[in-house]
Each structure stands twice: as C-alpha cells, then as structure tokens.
Chains A and B, each alone.
Chain A
Amino acid sequence: MKTSHEHGRQAADPHAPQGGWRGWLADKGPKLLLFARQQTRSEADAEDVLQEALVKLLGKIEAGEFVGGEEAWMPYLYTAIRRLAIDAGRRDDRRRRREESVVEDEALVGQGDEHPWFDSEGSDDETRELLEAGLKELPAKFAEVIVMKIWNDKTFAEIGEALEISQNTAASRYRYGLEALRRKLGSARRKGDL
C-alpha cells in the first residue's frame, strides 16, 4: 500500500506547471509576494495570504472547478490574494479591538523593514529605498494599481477587473500614484538625500 505522501507526490504532478511548482514559484512568486506585501500589513501576513491563495488555486484545479488554463492562474491569484488580505485585515482589526495592546503584533509590524520589496541588483540602493518607501507610504488604492501595472504587466482593463473598479479609475489612480512618487523624489532631491 502506498503511503499518503507517495500519493500526494504522484497526485501533484498532473496539475503542476511545466518544470514543477518550485520553478513556477521561483518565476511568478516574486511578483505575487510583492502584491501580497502591498496588500497586507506584515511580512507574515503576506506570506500566509500568498500560501492560502496558492492552496485555493490548487484546490479549485483539482476539484475541476477552475475555469481556464495556466494563463488564468495569475489573475485568479491576484483576486484571491486581495480578498484574503482584506479578510486578514478584518481579523487584525477585530483582534486589536479585543486586545488593548499586543506586544507581539508590534514586533511583527516592525518586521517589514527587514524584508525589502525589491532586489538591490540593477538599481542604486538609495533610489530603491526611496521608491520603496514611497510606494509603501502611498494610499493602498494607488499603490496596488502601480504594483499590478508595472511588475505584473497588467492592462488597466485587467487591473480594473481584478480590483472591481473601472478602467478609467485604474488609470487615474496609476497617474496619481506616480505623481505622488515624483513629488517624493523631488523633495528628497531638494533635501539632498539624493
């Protein structure tokens, strides 16, 4: 009799992408994690949400409920990450209301600084840090459009669909977000930070 582990290994293969899950994760994971980081309040939440979204995707594929092929995975994952992040945020809010002070949470919030959103290769560290800080400070509704547009190659129509806003709203938010980042860079230049 095969063990359940052996069954799992065999069962994962038919649904895994070419090159296996690890290769697919190494390729797509950075973009998905960036989006999850932007959507959540801590690194731990971002990783949890990403994992939950992946498991949901696999569950749907294996149940035969997923509509579309591998090309439809990413749009599904963005939507799933966003919804799971909203749920995680609500759980956080309820928890915070129940507990007046949570030392552990404060420690977790601080962890974000230890996990840069971008690799330092190919860009100078000051610029990267400034842009990353600016992106984190942007209102989420602007930042999420920027993240989806620039690092996930989505059209405004696709972004609008994923975020349940109009295409024009997506485009406006993108522009406002970029303008805010430009002001931040300009301000840094005036102060001599750059």
Chain B
Amino acid sequence: MDIPDLTHMDDTASDGALDVSLGAIEGQLAGLRPARLSEGLLDRLEAGLNRAAVVDQVDAPEAQVIEFPQRQRRAWSSWWGAAAAVALGGAAALWLPQRESPAVAATRAHPASSAPVASAAGKVVAAGYGRDVREASDEGIVLQGQVPHRRVRVVYMDRVVVTNAQGEKIEVERPRVEWLLIPEKMD
C-alpha cells in the first residue's frame, strides 16, 4: 500500500469532519482486517459456550457453581473453572431424579407440604476447601534484575469438597503451578 506523505499536511483537525490527512490515516486503519481467531481459540470459545449451557441445563433444579477460594488468572484458569463446573453439574445430574419424575413433580406441585425436602432439593453446599503441595522442583538459578534467584516450581492441588442434597460428598480437584523466586546469597 502506498503511504501518502502526511508530514507536511495541516495538523489541525476541525471540530466537524476530519481533515484530509486524518481521513487518510482513518482509511489506512480501515484497510486493516482484525486477525481471524485461531482454530484452537474457536474450539475453546465454542466449547466454553456449550459447556456453559450444560451447567445451566443439567437436570438439577438449582445446579450451583462452587468457586475455588482463590481464582487463577492464567489462560487456562477460566477453563478449569468451567471444567470443574461441568464436572460438578454432571455429577449432580447423576444423583438427581429425572425432570419429569413423579417425585420431583410432586415436590414442585406441593412445595409447602414437603418444605424440608423441597428446600434441600438440588442444593450443593461447600463442605471444605484444601490445598496440597504435590510436587516441588528446583529449576536452578535465574537472574532477576541482576540479582541471582533460585527458581522453584511448586505444583499445588486445590480441592473443593461439596455435599449434595443426599449428603453425598463430591470432591473436585484443580492443579495449580507457581514459581517461587528466592534470592540467592552471593559470596
């Protein structure tokens, strides 16, 4: 594309329409096409939308997503969250009765007569959180701002335990990696 010489043109943009030189820049920008999504990202986004729908549509009347106490911010963080939610929702679906089963229909039709059951139906309650160190490895010395640091890779396993309406415990685990930098003494 031929770039017009813009340097000698009037720098003043009026309050109304853009002047010619700004219009040229605008035209050049408009000629750029935002990069297409990679197949991998398309897969990920599409699967994310489908999984979100799974969680929403699981037969559990009140399927709930239990957040881990500390969210990760890495690229795969929301992915793990979604995966955990799906696993949780899927597991809950196995324990809960079919949508049209007589028992559930009766509960919905007469909530007052079976209040204790109805209020507990489909509830998934957090029963505990945990975190274990699964693995730690020394990755040697790295320079950080001209200061030597020892880099240690630590793999944690975060764990959430929930209890469903039947009192059964469901455990969901999520691995997490952190790198620790420890200043190293120099002689």
Contact = CB atoms under 8 A, between A and B. Distances in A.
A48 B48 contact: no
A88 B22 CA distance: 33
Contact of B50 (A8, A101, A132, A187): A8
B172 interface: no
Contacts of B25: 178, 181-182, 185
Given A48-B77, A101-B181, A175-B18, A146 B29 contact: yes
A101 B53 contact: no
Interface in B84-98: 86, 89-90, 93, 98
Most chain A beta-carbon neighbours within 10 Å: one of B51, B74, B75, B142? B75
Interface in B43-62: 44-46, 48-54, 56-59
A97 interface: no
Interface string A123-138: 1100110011001000
Contacts of B32: 118-119, 122-123, 128, 131-132
Interface string A14-55: 011000011001100111011000000000110110111011
A74 B160 CA distance: 35
Interface in B1-24: 1, 3, 5-7, 11, 13, 18, 21-22
Contacts of B185: none
B176 interface: no
Contacts of A103: 142, 144, 151, 179, 181
A8 B151 contact: no
A185 B18 contact: no
B26 to A, nearest CB: 6
Contacts of A91: 71, 73
Interface residues of B, number: 58
A75 B53 CA distance: 22
B73 A181 contact: no
B37 A58 contact: no
A188 to B, nearest CB: 9
Given A33-B34, A47-B44, A118-B34, A55 B28 contact: no
Given A51-B45, A103-B179, A4 B35 contact: no
Contacts of B98: 1
Contacts of A8: 50-51, 53-54, 57
Interface in A82-111: 88, 91-92, 95, 100-104
Contact of B1 (A5, A62, A124): A124
Given A29-B42, A116-B35, A51 B6 contact: no
A40 B161 CA distance: 33
A71 interface: no
B145 A101 contact: yes
B80 to A, nearest CB: 11
Given A25-B46, A29-B41, 10 more contacts: A7-B54, A7-B93, A25-B37, A26-B36, A29-B36, A45-B73, A48-B77, A103-B142, A131-B29, A185-B6
A-B pairs with lowest CB-CB distance, top 6: A8-B54, A44-B75, A11-B57, A186-B7, A30-B34, A12-B53
